[in-house]
Amino acid sequence: MTKIKLGVTLYSYTAEYVSGQYTFEDCVRRCAELGVDGYEIVATQMIPSYPYVSDEFLGEVNRLKAEYGVRPISYGANTDRGMRFDRDLNDEELLASTIRDIKAAHKLGCPVIRAQYLLSPKNLVQVAPYAEEYGIKIGIEIHNPETPSTPAMEAYLEAIEKSGSKYIGFVPDLGAFADKPNVASYQGALEQGANKEMLDYAVSLRYDDVPMDEAQKLLEAKGADPIVMSSFFNMYGFLTFRKNPDFEGLKRIMPYVFHVHGKFHCMTEEGNELSIPYDKLLPILDEAGYDGYIVSEFEGHSTMPAAQAVAKHIAMERRILGL
């Protein structure tokens, strides 16, 4: 039987939360209604006293944990290099910010921090002793357009392996393994008036792994309109897809994975994700003996209500994993 646990990142409820439709408690209650026992909190979004955790907010978290049986299992940190208007933060300042995040996660009882790639490999290794002292594991998120095998992530892997620390590793975002275009983005471009033939040409360039600069020149030479070009840049950015996702890279990093983002954008009526091959990804995690959480992360806020979407996603995962 699988050791994988299922949870939800509260980021999934962003549209409802920022509009005032949901409170923090509503988000937690939604998780409980799904039968999961853990959630990830995005610190900058939902902690009123960020970057610190006030005793008042901690009391609210503990009250909800007692009432609903759901607890924070991951602290979503933001490596905000650009928080000053006059200059970027340097590595020493980012290191200090991460240590502060460790203390906040510890206060909340989160055993994991999802960090971002602006925390350099050097900084990640430097923060390892602090993570160990507080019993917090810190994982660099592997997010589109990166994969486990891109040079940036290879640099982290080398640093992690050389460090020998069990407290630093990776948080793969399953969106990095998409094998089809994002449906909402594609349909949205058509609805805005994009030329379908040109949009399909952009898709083919991405499928064929044509380098971005070269693909851009080819599209512009054919007179691609601004809507197509906007969609094209998404295809090579946060909505990248590949004919051959980096499954082997995922297998290679599994010894250093202790948290996973279950990214999804659009669920079919039958309960399948349209662009991310969960039927191939979840068995890789399971066969590696992964025993951490996969937190459902809904980013198709314009496609359907979050509660409905997350319920479909959790049901899909349970079906694939045999839960």
* Average pLDDT of the chain to the nearest whole number: 95
Residue 4, token pair as written in the block: 């994988």
pLDDT at 296: 98
Distance of CA 148 to the CA centre of its chain: 14
If pLDDT is split at 50, 70 and 90, which confidence band does 283 have?
very high
Show me where the domains of the chain are located.
Answer: 5-180+243-321, 183-235
Q: Are 203 and 235 in contact (CB under 8 A)?
A: yes
Considering the domain 5-180+243-321 in this protein, what is its CATH number? 3.20.20.150
Segment 210-219 shows an average pLDDT of 96
The answer, yes or no, to whether residue 235 has pLDDT greater than 80, is yes
Task: Give Cα separations from 219 to 50, 209, 213, 216 (angstroms).
Answer: 44, 14, 10, 5
Answer for the pair 174, 276: CB distance below 8 angstroms, yes or no. yes
pTM metric for this prediction: 0.95
> Of the given ranges (258-267, 276-285, 294-303), which has the lowest mean pLDDT?
294-303
* Region 180-207 average pLDDT: 94
CA distances from 214 to 10, 145, 149, 198, 250 (A): 39, 17, 22, 16, 28
